[in-house]
Structure 1
Amino acid sequence: MVRTGLWFVYFMIYLLVISPGIKKAEMMYKKDKNKAGDYVKGKAERWSRRLLKLAGARLEIRGLEYLPQKEPVLFVSNHQGNFDIPILLSSAGRKIGFLSKIEVKKIPLISPWMEVMGCVFIDRADRRKAVQAIRTAANKLEDGNSMVVFPEGTRSKSAEVNDFKIGSLKLATLSKVAIVPVSISGSYKLMEANNGIMKPADVKIIYGKPIRIHQEGKVDLQTLAAEIQRQVQKNVDKKM
């Protein structure tokens, strides 16, 4: 309980302290997008690493050598728990945006940072707006910004990998960027497995080899989703 309370106190205080950085990032984007991206990346990485340390996450990272360095990518990850987001932010080594549910946009202090990170909010209840959000995210990828999607649609809160929904994977076929399958194991043990109480846990994240079959020709979304899920599942099943 003490760890959990301290974590949330730190979470809110740190967001308040760095909130002036939002305006700075917005101004930097008008002058130099690369410098602005580096600034936002640095802030996100430090924030995420501190949150993971306070939660007691013992993080093992594999597969960074597979990440393309000179092109944007679409990270497609399984989703075990809320800590998946700081795990990705702290380990990917680049500025990344997320395709996030529209409800998150209502959270003060968090949503402004998400906007400067390049996140896109999707309203799943409105098909027209959802399609527009997918196109907006695809445009960001085409402009050189890497993105993350969780195609399960929600947290599994377990070691299970639920079926991937194909909607968000249209980002790959529209933008033609490489897909990096991401496998996260053990993140649910930090909080979701403990009824919301944070406990230390071993967590593994594996970045897989890029998938490019959609760049080589037309591919059915179901086939693409199945191949990505196979790669993600394979690495989730690997022993710690």
Structure 2
Amino acid sequence: MKIFARISWLYATIVIMVSLAIMILTFHILPRPRGRKLAAWLIRKTAFFRIEVEGREDPDAQMFLLNHQSDLDIVIMETITPRDIAWVAKKELFQIPFFGLALKLPQDIAVERESKTSLIKLLRDAKAVIKTNRVITMFPEGTRSTKGVMLPFKSGAKIVADSNKLRVQPIVLMQSAKYYNIKEFHYKPGKIKAIYLESFIADKSDENWLSDLRIKMQKVYDDELANNPSHR
């Protein structure tokens, strides 16, 4: 069984890598964001997983905030919205050969943790992205949380949203690590659920809105898990 599981994981990983290569090769040929969307849809279809969407995307949203469990989370988001997404990711990811190019080409936003100068750059890059009508998209936890409990949200999301008075829409992804986990060499096809929550305008006078949002998203996650046995 372990050998079969490793072979399945290897297949899904190869699918992801090939799809990224296609995205890189077609990026300057196809109108944006079609190259990235094409790659995401190839992964979704050839890795044999389906997505159930609950709620509605706000077409005026300027920032998406998602919980993060798996590399599939990017694919999920890219295939449930037609919008041109500007991902905010750790600077180290941009320096990884091949994968980093898939972030640099669309001009995603690199952020360096614990750096004041990086925060200034983040605000400047975010402002530039907003002018192009792309949607700033962040995993406010800053890293994956695969145990069903969301990690504390980093302040960067609040700083960017508050500084620009962004319309923020949270999205809860259910159990994506159950289907693809790169650290545990695990993959299986299945159905993943994405839940759009109500959007809101960031208000910097509310010092706790980001931490309150984490509590709200965790409750949505827990309730869905409790009421839908297929997620277990």
Equivalent in 54, 59, 68 of residue 58 of structure 2: 68
1:55 partner amino acid? A
Matching residue within 179, 201, 205 for 1:219: 205
- The equivalent residue for 2:34 is 42
Taking the aligned partners of 1:165 and 1:12, their CA distance within structure 2 comes to: 29
Structure 2: which amino acid aligns with 1:98? W
Distance 1:206 1:23, change over 3 A: same
Residue by residue over 1:106-133, the C-alpha shift from the partner in whole angstroms, topping out at 9 and shown as x without a partner, is: 2333333323434101111433123322
Q: Which of 47, 50, 58 in structure 2 is aligned with 1:55?
A: 47
Aligned counterparts of 1:17 and 1:166: Cα–Cα separation in 2:
35
1:48-74 deviations in Å (ceiling 9; x for gaps): 13223343423211112xx232x3511
Question: In the alignment, residue 225 of structure 1 is paired with which amino acid?
Answer: L
- 1:165, distance to aligned residue in structure 2 (A): 1.9
Q: Give the number of equivalent residue pairs.
A: 220
**1:187 aligned residue:** 176
**Aligned-partner SS, 1:219:** coil
Q: CA deviation at 1:235?
A: 2.3
Name the residue aligned to 1:234.
219
Aligned CA distance change for structure 1 residues 143 and 47 (closer, same or farther; 3 Å):
closer
Are residue 165 (structure 1) and residue 154 (structure 2) matched?
A: yes
**Equivalents in 2 of 1:225, 1:166: separation in Å?**
8
Partner letter of residue 17 of structure 2? Answer: M
The one of 117, 120, 126 equivalent to 2:106 is 117
Question: Which of 13, 23, 32 is 1:8 aligned to?
Answer: 13
Spell out, residue by residue over 1:74-103, the C-alpha distance to the aligned partner (whole angstroms, 9 max, x if none).
Answer: 101111222111111111221111110011
Q: C-alpha distance in 2, partners of 1:4/1:180? A: 32
Structure 2: distance between partners of 1:231 and 1:171: 20
Pair 85,182 (structure 1): closer, same or farther in 2 beyond 3 Å: same
Q: How far off is 1:149 after superposition?
A: 0.9
TM-score, length basis structure 2: 0.83
Q: TM-score, normalised by structure 1?
A: 0.81
Following TM superposition, by how much is the alpha carbon of 1:142 offset from its aligned partner in structure 2, in angstroms? 4.3
Distance 1:154 1:23, change over 3 A: same
Is the alpha carbon distance of 1:152 and 1:234 closer, same or farther for their aligned partners in structure 2, counting shifts above 3 Å? same
Identify the range of structure 1 (132-141 vs 149-158) with the bigger mean alpha-carbon deviation. Answer: 132-141
**Larger % of helix: which?**
1
Find the counterpart in structure 2 of residue 152 from structure 1. 141
Contact 1:76 1:179 in 2 (8 A): yes
Residues 60 and 111 (structure 1), Cα distance of their counterparts in 2 relative to 1, 3 Å cut: same
Moved over 4 A (4+): none
- Give the drift of 1:137: 1.7
> Percentage identity across aligned positions?
22
